[in-house]
Structure formats: structure tokens, C-alpha cells
């Protein structure tokens, strides 16, 4: 019996030595990292044109394996050439998808990158301003809908959209229902473009947004909706759209379009997306108080 336990203990020690061997740990980490990257790649290409591309590559790989087993030299040469030269061509063809995928990775909410990017958080003093802005936008959308006009309103968030702002006219005004309705009046000079709201203020108007390249968009949607979806694909902005034809109020976010909002549901949704939670607000207040205390201590030391 004692020999059995001694033998079992030796086997356990041998297993632990192999498991904790430096090379073994490196292999485990290597496998986990590759598995994580493959999982994220599948998430990025799912339900996009790139999904068909991945299926095509898998089919080619199967063809190559079958050709290698059957020793079909001409087919092997053909498939190898496709893999060598086709990747460069596909990178050019699928450049928009690759760009959006990299932008999504860059917008990932890692805390370390948040410190580098200077993530814009809404302090307590700005909370009420954003609430007023949301109220003005919601009421303006209802009035624009009643007057059978169209509107395109972009809320800038962490991703700066200065290139889009440069295509319009700087306004720098406090948001109000009257201002927004006047901007989108049919005969106003800036009504065709989008209004960009930055830091709870109407920063620019008449801005030109990038159109979505998604071929799966409903054919009933017009240029405004395509522009809203394109803007939400290229950044983390939240875009409010009012259809001139149907009067439907919609929100575009992360390349997805949600329709049929009322004034109440629009206001509630924008507050949920744009305003921080109570915990975030408390954290921001504590940071502000701590910063003020440090500043006072520094001033006393200088005196």
C-alpha cells in the first residue's frame, strides 16, 4: 500500500515538474493568446462581407489539402499562387472592413488606453448641461418631425471627429430647441448637413458625414440614414436621425440603426448612452476634490 502511494506521489511530482516547466508555461500562454485572437477575429468578421471571405479561405484550404493528398500538382500550384498574391488584392478590396475592425479595436475600453487617450468624462458640473442638451434635441426632433423636415445630429464622444467638423461651419452655441429647428429649416443654408454636438454644445453645423458601405442596409433608407450609420461605424459617436419622408426618429450607434423613437424614448435612450452612471459621477467628484486639495497644498508650500 505504501508503495502505491509513493508511486502515485512520484507521478504527481513528475506531472508538476512538466507542467511548471518554463517551456510548458510558454506553450500554454501561446495557445491561450492565439485562441483569444482567433475568437476576436471571428467576432470582428461575423455578419460582414469579410465573413464570406473567411469561408472562401477555408474552402481553398480544404482544396489544397485534398490536392496534396491526391498529389494534384497543377491544382497545388494554382491554390498556392492564389494564397500568395490574393492576400494583397483582398486587403485592397476589403480596406473599409479592415479599417473599421482596427477602429473598433482602438475604441476598446481598456483602462490603460483610456488614460492615454484622455477619455472625456462628464463631470458633475457638465451633467446638467448634457441633460439640457438632450432635452433640447428630443424636443427639436419632435418639432422637426411635425414640420416634415429632416435632421442629422451627431453626439461626439471619445473619438474626436475633427475631420468631419472641418467640413462644416463652426457654431459654438448653447443648444436649444429653437436653434436646432432653425438650422434644419428647409431653406436654411446649413440644413443639408449634420450638426455636431461636442461637450454639450452645438459645435458645428452643415457637416458632411461618411456614408456607410454596408450593402445589407435596407433600400428604403435614404442618404441621411446611410450617413448616420457611416458615422457610427467610423467612430463611437451617437447619431440621431429624423427622416424627412416618413418622420421616423432613429438612432445610429456602432453601425446599428434603431428606429421609431418618440420624444420620451429618445430622451431616455440618449441619457442612458451619454450620461455616466452614479458610480462614475461619484468617482469623478472624488477625483476633482482630491485634485483641488493637492492644488491647495501646493499653493501653501509655495507661500
pLDDT score for 113: 44
Q: Please give the distance of CA 94 from its chain centroid, rounded to a whole number.
A: 18
| Structural domains in the chain, sorted by start | 2-106 (no CATH), 124-274 (3.40.1700.10)
Q: Please give the distance of CA 30 from its chain centroid, rounded to a whole number.
A: 28
Angle between helices 95-106 and 223-234 (to 10 degrees): 50
Read off the pLDDT of residues 154-189 as tens digits, 9 standing for 90 and up: 999 888 888 899 899 999 999 999 999 999 998 888
pLDDT score for 281: 46
**238-242 vs 151-155, strand pairing mode:** antiparallel
Angle at 295 between CA 292 and CA 300, to 5 degrees: 130
Phi, psi torsion values for 54, nearest 5 degrees: -65, -40
> Is-contact 212 229, C-beta < 8 A?
yes
- What 3-state class would DSSP assign to 237? coil
Q: Please give the distance of CA 13 from its chain centroid, rounded to a whole number.
A: 49
Q: How far are the Cα atoms of 10, 17, 33 from residue 24, in angstroms, in the given order?
A: 19, 10, 14
102 or 175, higher pLDDT = 175
Residue 30 in this model has a pLDDT that exceeds 80: no
109 or 148, higher pLDDT = 148
Amino acid at each position: 500500500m505504501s508503495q502505491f502511494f509513493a508511486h502515485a506521489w512520484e507521478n504527481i511530482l513528475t506531472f508538476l515538474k512538466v507542467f511548471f516547466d518554463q517551456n510548458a508555461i510558454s506553450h500554454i500562454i501561446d495557445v491561450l493568446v492565439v485562441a483569444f485572437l482567433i475568437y476576436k477575429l471571428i467576432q470582428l468578421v461575423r455578419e460582414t462581407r469579410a465573413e464570406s471571405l473567411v469561408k472562401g479561405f477555408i474552402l481553398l484550404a480544404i482544396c489544397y489539402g485534398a490536392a496534396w493528398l491526391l498529389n494534384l500538382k497543377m491544382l497545388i500550384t494554382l491554390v498556392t499562387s492564389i494564397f500568395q498574391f490574393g492576400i494583397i488584392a483582398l486587403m485592397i478590396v476589403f480596406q473599409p472592413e479592415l479599417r473599421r475592425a482596427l477602429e473598433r479595436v482602438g475604441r476598446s475600453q481598456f483602462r490603460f488606453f483610456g488614460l492615454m487617450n484622455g477619455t472625456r468624462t462628464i463631470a458633475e458640473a457638465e451633467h446638467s448641461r448634457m441633460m439640457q442638451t438632450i432635452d433640447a434635441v428630443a424636443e427639436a426632433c419632435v418639432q422637426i418631425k411635425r414640420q416634415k423636415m429632416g435632421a442629422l445630429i451627431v453626439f461626439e464622444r471619445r473619438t474626436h471627429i475633427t475631420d468631419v467638423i472641418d467640413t462644416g461651419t463652426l457654431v459654438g452655441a448653447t443648444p436649444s430647441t429653437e436653434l436646432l429647428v432653425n438650422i434644419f429649416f428647409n431653406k436654411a443654408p446649413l440644413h443639408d448637413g449634420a450638426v455636431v454636438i461636442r461637450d454639450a454644445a452645438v459645435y458645428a453645423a452643415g457637416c458632411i458625414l461618411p456614408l456607410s458601405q454596408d450593402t445589407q442596409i435596407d433600400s428604403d433608407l435614404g442618404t441621411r440614414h446611410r450617413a448616420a450609420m457611416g458615422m457610427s461605424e467610423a467612430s463611437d459617436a451617437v447619431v440621431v436621425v429624423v427622416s424627412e419622408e416618413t418622420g421616423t426618429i432613429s438612432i445610429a450607434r456602432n453601425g446599428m440603426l434603431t428606429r421609431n423613437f418618440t420624444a420620451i424614448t429618445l430622451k431616455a435612450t440618449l441619457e442612458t448612452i451619454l450620461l455616466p452612471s452614479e458610480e462614475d459621477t461619484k468617482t469623478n467628484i472624488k477625483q476633482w476634490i482630491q485634485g483641488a486639495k493637492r492644488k491647495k497644498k501646493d499653493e501653501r508650500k509655495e507661500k
